Every structure is written in structure tokens, then in C-alpha cells.
Amino acid sequence: MQNMELTEILRCPRTGNKLRFDDCDKIVHVADSDMEYPVVDGIIDFCHGASDKVSRAYDKVADRYDTLLSKPKVPHRIINTLVWGIGDDRPYIETVLSYLPNQFDGILLDVPVGTGIFTSPIYTRYPKATIIGIDLSMSMLRKSRECFERDGLRKVVLLKADVNNLPLRNDVVDLILSMNGWHAFTDKQRAIAEIRRVLCTQGTLIACGYVKGTRKISDWFVKHFGVPRGFFNPPFFELDDVPSQFKGFTVIRQANVQSMAYFEAIKEE
């Protein structure tokens, strides 16, 4: 772990105080308080002991997530085509990822990082960058650590934390990727405000997610399957609202494939 640099970037999500690592990297202490956070398998757990429906839902599917999304079998492709109008998520995700720069050596925040299945190959292009992956699900984070390590990315900093309360200082991040997150986030306006808080002025946000109102069967599926299980959480954006929901950002390009919308935006002054 790059402790020296990290202590300049991170902060306690509850108090905003500075953090200090113990000598064995097992515990993170909060400056000027008795609080501390455990480091579990190299992942700092800022939500220790918390249990919520969303992280439990994703914990349960973490082992199957990569196969479902990156190598869907024929029955899944058929279901995907019926429900989403696209048999395979990969082409749409590749388009979103093509918004990322070819070279990058600043601070990148990936929230929610998920299992890293789509982003890991891209991050291998950024050997000098500081990459921070945040997610609420420890099982998804563990999968991402395996994935990053397989690709030789040993320095990605993984944090179990809530997007609504990011453990990062103000204006420290240069680039934020938020893939397939906004439909899962329970408090979207708070998540957007937090993303904006940690991003530097003129920093870039690349985001994508489900929007309601473009495909009836997708909306029906989300309402009857996604929401009760905790994978999707209302209220949902509609396609035309997306730029206005991201207050304090200027959207510079935007597109959608069926019910999945994506954009690139710059943080305004």
C-alpha cells in the first residue's frame, strides 16, 4: 500500500479527520480520535459491521457476476435480448470505457469498482496512476482484488465504503469512473454531491447506468426483479434528465443503448 501518498488522499468518512496506518497495515487509525478501521485482506473496511440490502444482494452474486456479464451463455443472451434489447453488455461497456484516456498518471477513482472485470485491462495502461476502487460489497471487492492481481495490478487501493460518504479529501481526484452505479445507489443526489466533492475542478467524470422510460420490458424487469432484490434502487433517472441530475457538471458527450445511458462530464468551478 502506498501509505505516504494515501494519507494525503484519504480521510475518515465520519469525522473528515486524517488517517494513519499502523506499522503492519492491519488497522487505520483516525487522527485526534479513538476511532479505527480494520484492513481486511488488504481492503480498508470503512463500513465495518454495517449490513444493508444492497451490499448483501451484490455479495450473493459476486462469484457469478463476471460470467453473467462478460461471458453470457446462450440462455442469458436470449433473456438479455428480451429484457434489455442487447444480448451482450460488452459492446456497450467497451464504448463507455473508450471514453477513458489512453494514458493517465493522476488519481483515478472507480466507484463502484465491482469485480474489476471490465476495467482491469484498461488500468494496466496506467502504471503510474494511483487507482482507488470503492464498493459497498466486500465480496465484489475481493473478486476485484483477484482480477487486478491476475493482471499484475498490485497497487490498486481497494476500499469498502459508501459512495454517499466517500473516505476521500476534497478535490483530490482527477478522473472518476462510475460504471453501472447510479441505478444501484440509494441516495443518488448525495452520491453525485460526494463524487463532485472529491473530484478536482475541471476533473472528468465518466458514468453510465440504467434509465427508466426508454424500454417498457426493461422497466418492468427492474421494477419486479431488480428492485425487490436490491440490485436497482429507485427513483430512477430518465434519459433526458441525466445531465440536469449531475449538478455542477458540464456534460460534454452523452449517448445511450436502449435503457443504458452514458456520458462524459467535467466538474465546473
Ligand X SMILES: C[S@@+](CC[C@H](N)C(=O)[O-])C[C@H]1O[C@@H](n2cnc3c(N)ncnc32)[C@H](O)[C@@H]1O
45 to each of 81, 134, 162, 198, 251, how far by Cα in Å?
A: 37, 10, 10, 19, 33
User: Does residue 168 touch ligand X according to CB under 6 A?
Assistant: no
- Using CB under 6 A as the binding rule, the residues of this chain from 31 to 60 that contact ligand X are 54-55, 58
In angstroms, give the least distance from the CB of 240 to ligand X. 23
CB of 23 to ligand X, least distance (A): 29
Please report how the helices 138-150 and 53-70 are oriented relative to each other, as an axis angle in degrees rounded to 10.
30
232 scored as a contact of ligand X (CB under 6 A): no
Please, which residue, 26 or 125, has the CB nearer to ligand X?
A: 125
- Assess 83 for contact with ligand X (CB under 6 A): no
Closest distance of CB 89 from ligand X, Å: 8
How far is residue 186 from each of residues 48, 181, 214, measured CA to CA in Å?
19, 10, 21
SS3 103: coil
* Binding of ligand X by 194 (CB under 6 A): no
Contacts of 64 (CB under 8 A, 6+ apart): none
Contacts of 118 (CB under 8 A, 6+ apart): 69, 70, 93, 97, 179
CB of 69 to ligand X, least distance (A): 6
Site residues (CB under 6 A) for ligand X, limited to 108-137: 112, 114, 118, 134-137
List contacts with ligand X (CB under 6 A). Answer: 54-55, 58, 112, 114, 118, 134-137, 140, 162-164, 179-181, 184-185
